[in-house]
């Protein structure tokens, strides 16, 4: 049957209904009432210490799990841990909010948890800061409204302020000079200080005489040659004695005020080159600023004692230490503090080629560009300075000129398969993978024992197996997987890559990234009473929808924690039948879905069959047998153009950039010239690693690490695509897609996800609603698409990204997956 279509009026009515539904469904209301009564009963006399709103908030977060709600309320409101309480601990937390934060109700309104309807306040409670605020709680600036009568300005026209109302600016007192200086008057010196300063001065003078101009100075002279003249030098010397200022608009720096030149101010050595302008250091470099915009600090010259301790003002100026601030991105492995302090890899290759007296046949475009630049630089004498800094990167790697498809067909002794492990939060995904690796002897028992002991200290010994996969401290502290964890193992026939996905709703984008690298999936379901139902309402459902949308066709459904339901065959049957119906409704074929009852914690039916007599009724395959029987569902796209989405970037000390990801289509071999999109930077493939093995080539479907030369990682981002320079992927910001709606769709802001690529944009228009089966147009330009409907929509992104027809993408909005489909 064709999906219904809607006119404007219908839309208004239905949308109103939708808004109402958003509040709370009748089933939720019943569950909430029942849950509230049960929690109050469980709390007994303590129930009076919490409000109904707090109880209901906890129940909502825990999907009506009474035990968890009681534990959370007790921990947060009834008997909060003393260390989490600030000095003036609150008697009562603001109702319905984040718990023990002692703010007045009005200010507490400004606190918002990371997401209002987070799934598990228990996780929040695990990571609270000093004030008892969950560490992910964002505080918005609390601005007290000035207490001014609303009529105060009534008799005051713009720019015509009566004299008696004018405010007088009183300059704040200047800082008094201390031991480290800061006073405008000459600081007093002890005899010892004076002696030390004299020695220092002499040593400096000697050093100055011996000083040779470093190549960097030559470079800076060249870059600023236009703005330099004699006048500049004179102003520069007038200013000698203070600090070069960071432009207040470009980064943090000392308090600055326009137009005032303090007595002791100095320029640095670069500043000395300026005249009617001063040199301002910004994040992006050093540039000249006109004199009328002169920005000067109130800070004063350091004392003699400070100079003795930290060196002279001249030295301090050269190093610029006071103006250097650690930026968060400098922690990133792909960040290079001095990206341009070395010659570019292209320069090095060209220099090597010039030396060898030959040209590369397939030199990339960027190399040619760089050749021209280098010639220009040579003319200006810059090259001689720069060449002294060169690191020899060697010539481009040689290609063996292999027929990769033939090699693959001849050498494919073991197949490769990647699977993603999905399911609702706490279903037991990481524990299951930890157990699998333990049983396969890829992890030692003593390692798990160590994790168990470490876990005991923070009351999380049950997570010991999960920690085999969850390696980050934040994941361990919170007891949740945050990002995809990758691991490898092999059986007799197959080399497997595990992609353990997070189950928490906050990390669905990471789950999407994992699912888009997988050939098939393990869906883990918690068989526990209540847990299974919560999962179906939560991420079990969302993950299955996403798997289907991303093209995953094969599933192993691991019905987990059977130990907790006494290996009940009825429970296993009930879950299998219900999930099977749900899956076939979404288009999964029965023959591609296998149900296996397991206990990840105890290792039943994973590699060995369960020894629990209560579970003897199960005679089907174990998990490992199920894995061996699964594999890539479609023929690999070997003959298509090479495409690989970057999921990780590593930079070695030797200057090699390694990119990890799955080859979506095509083949590669060492020596290939590739392009990284959207930056358009080209590079050579230096080496290829498959798992831990070095390879000459790789093909579609394999998860590989590719080392590139001649590229600066500054041009590469996670989510970018590598392709061959001969067949590049296009970049664009406007796409038409055939989308299946999970929620109402209309022109609205959205995020587009493809693997690790996330791009913000909006649904610009809906071209038509389509028939699900035939794809025929049902209605042109509808105002809204109903959940379950299929439509052709136009998406406009804020930036250009590498995407092409035939790719599967997911559309999310405000933390919810609202649609998925194919780019046309
Ligand atoms: N009794 C029992 N408990 C289990 C089993 N599998 C996992 N658990 C427990 O369930 C809890 C959650 O396990 P995890 O492996 O972290 O769950 P997860 O699905 O990986 O969680 P996220 O990745 O955060 O979504 C842990 O306390 C495990 O010990 C099982 O088979 N039986």
Tens-place pLDDT, residues 618-643: 999 999 999 988 876 446 678 889 99
Dist CA 310 CA 291 (whole Å): 30
Q: Which residue has the higher pLDDT, 256 or 1?
A: 1
Predicted confidence band of residue 265 (pLDDT cuts 50, 70, 90): very low
Nearest CA to ligand 1 atom 32: 561
Look up residue 467 and give its two tokens.
């920690």
Residue nearest to atom 27 of ligand 1 (CA): 462
Fold: same for 643-724 and 731-823: yes
Q: How far is the CA of 523 from the centre of ligand 1 (A)?
A: 13
- Of 158-167, 200-209, 392-401, minimum mean pLDDT range: 392-401
Residue 245 CB less than 6 A away from ligand 1: no
pLDDT at 25 over 50: yes
- Which ligand 1 atom is the nearest neighbour of the CA of 599? 31
Question: How far does the centroid of ligand 1 lie from the alpha carbon of residue 430, in Å?
Answer: 7
The answer to whether residue 27 scores a pLDDT higher than 60 is yes
**How many Å lie between the centroid of ligand 1 and the Cα of residue 131?**
30
Dig out the tokens for 731 from the structure.
């970049």
> Ligand 1 in contact with 69 (CB < 6 A)?
no
Task: Report residue 61 as tokens.
Answer: 């977060």
Choosing from 423, 461, 466 the residue with most ligand 1 atoms within 8 A of its CB, the one to mutate for a pocket test is: 466
Q: Give the distance (Å) from ligand 1 centre to CA of residue 528.
A: 11
Instruction: Decide: residue 198, CB within 10 A, 0-12 exposed, 13-18 middle, 19+ buried.
Output: exposed
Ordered alpha helix ranges (H), 483-631: 508-515, 531-537, 539-549, 569-585, 623-629
Report CA(482)–ligand 1 centroid distance (Å).
Answer: 14
d(C-alpha 473, C-alpha 477), whole Å: 6
Distance 701 CA to ligand 1 centre (A): 29
pLDDT band at 208, cuts 50/70/90? low
Q: Which of 118-127, 396-405, 472-481, 739-748 has the lowest mean pLDDT?
A: 118-127
Give pLDDT, residue 380.
Answer: 45
- pLDDT, tens only, 132-146: 333 333 333 333 444
Q: How far is the CA of 564 from the centre of ligand 1 (A)?
A: 12
What is the reported pTM? Answer: 0.52
Contact 480, 504 (CB under 8 A): yes
Distance 476 CA to ligand 1 centre (A): 13
Q: Is the CB of 429 under 6 A from ligand 1?
A: yes
- In whole angstroms, what is the distance from residue 76 CA to residue 81 CA? 8
Write out the CATH class of domain 643-724: mainly beta
Q: Which atom of ligand 1 is nearest to the CA of 480?
A: 24
503 C-beta closer than 6 A to ligand 1: yes
Position 606 scores a pLDDT of 93
- Closest C-alpha residue for ligand 1 atom 7: 428
Q: Cβ distance 232 to 279 under 8 Å? A: no
- The rounded distance, in Å, linking the Cα atoms of 109 and 116 is 12
pLDDT at 512: 85
Atom of ligand 1 nearest to the CA of 423: 19
**Mean of pLDDT values over 537-566:** 88
Q: Is the CB of 99 under 6 A from ligand 1?
A: no
CA 460 to ligand 1: nearest atom: 27
pLDDT value at position 286? Answer: 34
Q: Which atom of ligand 1 lies nearest, measured to the CA of 504? A: 25
Phi, psi of 181 (to 5 degrees): 95, -160
Rounded distance between C-alpha atoms, residue 467 and residue 452, angstroms: 9
In terms of pLDDT, which residue wins out, 226 or 697?
697
147 falls in which pLDDT band (50, 70, 90)? low
Structure confidence at residue 11 as a pLDDT band (50, 70, 90) = very low
- How would you classify the pairing of strands 111-112 and 757-770? unpaired
Per-residue pLDDT of 760-783, as tens digits, reads: 999 999 999 998 778 888 888 898
Report which protein residue has its CA nearest ligand 1's atom 21.
426
**Mean pLDDT computed over 592-600:** 93
Ligand 1 mean position, distance from CA 620 (Å): 23
pLDDT at 648 over 90: no
The pLDDT score that the predictor gives to residue 337 is 41
- What is the reported pLDDT for 807? 83
At the second CATH level, the architecture of 731-823 is Beta Barrel (2.40)
CATH of 424-622, one of 3.40.640.10, 3.40.50.300, 3.60.150.10, 3.40.250.10: 3.40.50.300
Q: Is the pLDDT reported for residue 272 higher than 70?
A: no
Q: What is the mean pLDDT of the chain?
A: 68
Write the DSSP assignment of 264-277 as a string of letters.
T----TTGGG-SSE
Residue 382 has pLDDT above 90, yes or no: no
Is the beta carbon of 427 within 6 A of some atom in ligand 1?
Answer: yes
Residue 539 near ligand 1, beta carbon < 6 Å = no
Q: Closest Cα to atom 6, ligand 1: which residue? A: 428
Ligand 1 lined by 478 (C-beta under 6 Å): no
What ipTM score was computed for the predicted complex, to two decimals?
0.98
Please state which of the ranges 85-94, 202-211, 401-410, 441-450 shows the lowest mean pLDDT: 85-94
Please give the distance, rounded to the nearest whole angstrom, from the Cα atom of residue 426 to the centre of ligand 1.
5
pLDDT single digits (tens) 782-793: 988 888 888 999
Instruction: From the CA of 427, give the closest atom in ligand 1.
Output: 19
Quote the tokens at residue 128. Answer: 């609270």
Backbone angles phi, psi at 378, to 5 degrees: -60, -45
* The two three-digit tokens of residue 391, written as one number: 């690191």
CB-ligand 1 contact for 435 (6 Å cutoff): no
What is the model's pLDDT at position 747? 92
- Is it the case that residue 599 has pLDDT exceeding 90? yes
Q: What is the pLDDT of residue 86?
A: 44
Q: Where are the domains of the chain?
A: 8-177+187-239, 260-293, 330-388, 424-622, 643-724, 731-823
pLDDT for residue 763: 92
Q: Exposed, middle or buried, 4 (CB in 10 Å: 0-12/13-18/19+)?
A: exposed
Q: Which range, 288-292, 395-399, 537-541, is most confident?
A: 537-541
Residues 810 and 753 sit within 8 Å (Cβ to Cβ)? yes
| pLDDT band at residue 300 using 50, 70 and 90 as cut-offs | low
What is the C-alpha to C-alpha distance for residues 490 and 431, in angstroms, rounded to an integer? Answer: 19
Higher-confidence position of 700 and 164: 700
| Close Cβ partners of 248 (under 8 Å, ≥ 6 residues apart) | 256, 295
> Does ligand 1 have an atom closer than 6 angstroms to the CB of 599?
yes
Higher pLDDT, 785 or 474: 785
pLDDT over 60 at 87, yes or no? no
pLDDT band at 295 (very low <50, low <70, confident <90, very high): very low
Q: Given phi > 0 = left and psi -120 to 50 = alpha, else beta, which region is 320? A: left
User: Ligand 1, residues 470, 600, 623: which to mutate, most atoms within 8 A of Cβ?
Assistant: 600
CA 282–ligand 1 middle distance (angstroms): 49
What's the pLDDT band for 131 if we cut at 50, 70, 90?
Answer: very low
CA atoms within 13 A on the CB side of 106: 4
What distance separates the 2 farthest-apart alpha carbons in the chain?
A: 98
pLDDT 10s digits, 682-723:
888 888 988 778 888 888 888 888 988 878 778 888 889 999
The average pLDDT across 367-389 equals 45
pLDDT at 576: 93
Pick the range with the lowest mean pLDDT from 115-119, 415-419, 762-766.
115-119
Q: Which of 601, 605, 606, 610 to probe ligand 1 with, by most ligand atoms within 8 A of CB? A: 601
């Amino acid at each position: 049957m064709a999906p219904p279509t809607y006119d404007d009026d219908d839309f208004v009515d239905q949308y109103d209904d939708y808004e109402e539904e958003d509040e709370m469904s009748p089933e939720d209301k019943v569950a909430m009432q029942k849950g509230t009564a049960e929690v109050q009963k469980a709390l007994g006399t303590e129930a009076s210490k919490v409000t109904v709103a707090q109880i209901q908030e906890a129940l909502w977060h825990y999907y009506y799990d009474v035990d968890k709600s009681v534990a959370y309320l007790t921990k947060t409101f009834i008997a909060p841990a003393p260390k989490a309480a600030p000095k003036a601990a609150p008697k009562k937390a603001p109702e319905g909010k984040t718990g023990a934060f002692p703010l007045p109700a009005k200010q507490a309104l400004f606190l918002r948890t990371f997401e209002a309807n987070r799934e598990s306040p228990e996780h929040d409670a695990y990571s609270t800061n000093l004030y008892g605020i969950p560490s992910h709680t964002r505080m918005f600036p609390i601005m007290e409204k000035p207490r001014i009568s609303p009529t105060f300005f009534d008799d005051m026209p713009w720019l015509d302020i009566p004299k008696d109302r004018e405010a007088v600016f009183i300059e704040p007192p200047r800082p008094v000079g201390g031991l480290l200086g800061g006073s405008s008057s000459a600081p007093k010196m002890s005899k010892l200080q004076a002696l030390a300063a004299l020695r220092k001065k002499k040593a400096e003078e000697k050093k100055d005489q011996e000083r040779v101009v470093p190549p960097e100075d030559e470079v800076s002279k060249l870059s600023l040659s236009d703005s330099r003249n004699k006048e500049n030098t004179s102003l520069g010397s007038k200013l000698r004695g203070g600090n070069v200022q960071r432009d207040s608009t470009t980064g943090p720096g000392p308090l600055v005020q326009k137009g005032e030149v303090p007595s002791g101010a100095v320029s640095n050595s670069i500043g000395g080159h300026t005249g009617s302008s001063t040199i301002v250091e910004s994040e992006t470099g050093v540039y000249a600023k006109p004199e009328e915009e002169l920005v000067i600090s109130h800070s004063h010259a350091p004392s003699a004692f400070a100079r003795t301790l930290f060196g002279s003002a001249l030295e301090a100026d050269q190093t610029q230490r006071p103006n250097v601030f650690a930026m968060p991105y400098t922690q990133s492995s792909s960040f290079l503090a001095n990206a341009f302090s070395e010659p570019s890899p292209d320069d090095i290759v060209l220099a090597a080629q010039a030396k060898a007296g030959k040209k590369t046949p397939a030199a990339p475009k960027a190399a040619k560009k760089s050749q021209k630049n280098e010639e220009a630089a040579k003319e200006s004498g810059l090259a001689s300075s720069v060449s002294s800094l060169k690191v020899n990167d060697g010539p481009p790697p040689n290609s063996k000129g292999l027929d990769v498809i033939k090699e693959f067909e001849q050498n494919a002794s073991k197949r490769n398969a990647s699977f993603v492990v999905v399911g609702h939060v706490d279903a037991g995904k990481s524990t299951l993978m930890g157990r699998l690796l333990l049983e396969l002897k890829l992890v030692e028992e003593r390692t798990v024992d160590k994790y168990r002991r470490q876990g005991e200290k923070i009351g999380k010994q049950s997570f010991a197996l999960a920690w085999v996969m969850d390696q980050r401290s934040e994941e361990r502290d919170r007891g949740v997987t945050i990002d995809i964890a990758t691991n490898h193992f092999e059986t007799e026939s197959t080399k497997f890559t595990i992609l353990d996905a997070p189950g928490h709703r906050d990390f669905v984008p990471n789950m999407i990234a994992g699912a888009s690298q997988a050939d098939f999936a393990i869906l883990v379901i918690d068989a526990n009473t209540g847990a299974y139902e919560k999962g179906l309402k939560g991420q079990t459902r969302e993950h299955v929808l996403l798997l289907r949308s991303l093209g995953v066709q094969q599933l192993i459904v691991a019905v987990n924690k059977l130990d907790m339901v006494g290996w009940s065959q009825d429970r296993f049957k009930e879950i299998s039948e219900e999930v099977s119906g749900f899956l076939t409704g979404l288009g999964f074929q029965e023959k591609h879905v296998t149900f296996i009852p397991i206990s990840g914690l105890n290792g039943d039916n994973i590699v060995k069959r369960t020894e629990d007599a209560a579970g003897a009724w199960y005679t089907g395959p174990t998990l490992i047998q199920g894995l061996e029987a699964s594999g890539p569902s479609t023929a690999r796209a070997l003959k298509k153009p090479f495409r690989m989405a970057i999921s990780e970037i590593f930079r070695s000390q030797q200057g090699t950039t390694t990119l990890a990801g799955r080859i979506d289509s095509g083949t590669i071999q060492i020596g290939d010239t590739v392009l990284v999109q959207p930056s358009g930077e080209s590079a050579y493939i230096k080496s290829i690693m498959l798992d831990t093995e070095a390879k000459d080539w790789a093909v579609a479907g394999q998860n590989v690490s590719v080392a590139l030369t001649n590229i600066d990682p500054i041009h590469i981002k996670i989510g970018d695509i590598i392709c061959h320079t001969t067949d590049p992927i296009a970049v664009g910001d406007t796409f038409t897609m055939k989308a299946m709606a999970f929620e109402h769709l209309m022109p609205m802001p959205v995020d587009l996800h493809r693997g690790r690529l996330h791009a913000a944009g909006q649904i610009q228009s809906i071209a038509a609603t389509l028939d699900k089966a035939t794809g025929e147009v049902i209605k042109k330009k509808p105002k809204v698409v109903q959940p379950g409907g299929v439509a052709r929509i136009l998406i406009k992104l804020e930036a250009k990204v590498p995407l092409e027809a035939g790719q599967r993408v997911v559309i999310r909005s405000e933390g919810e997956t609202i649609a998925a489909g194919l780019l046309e």
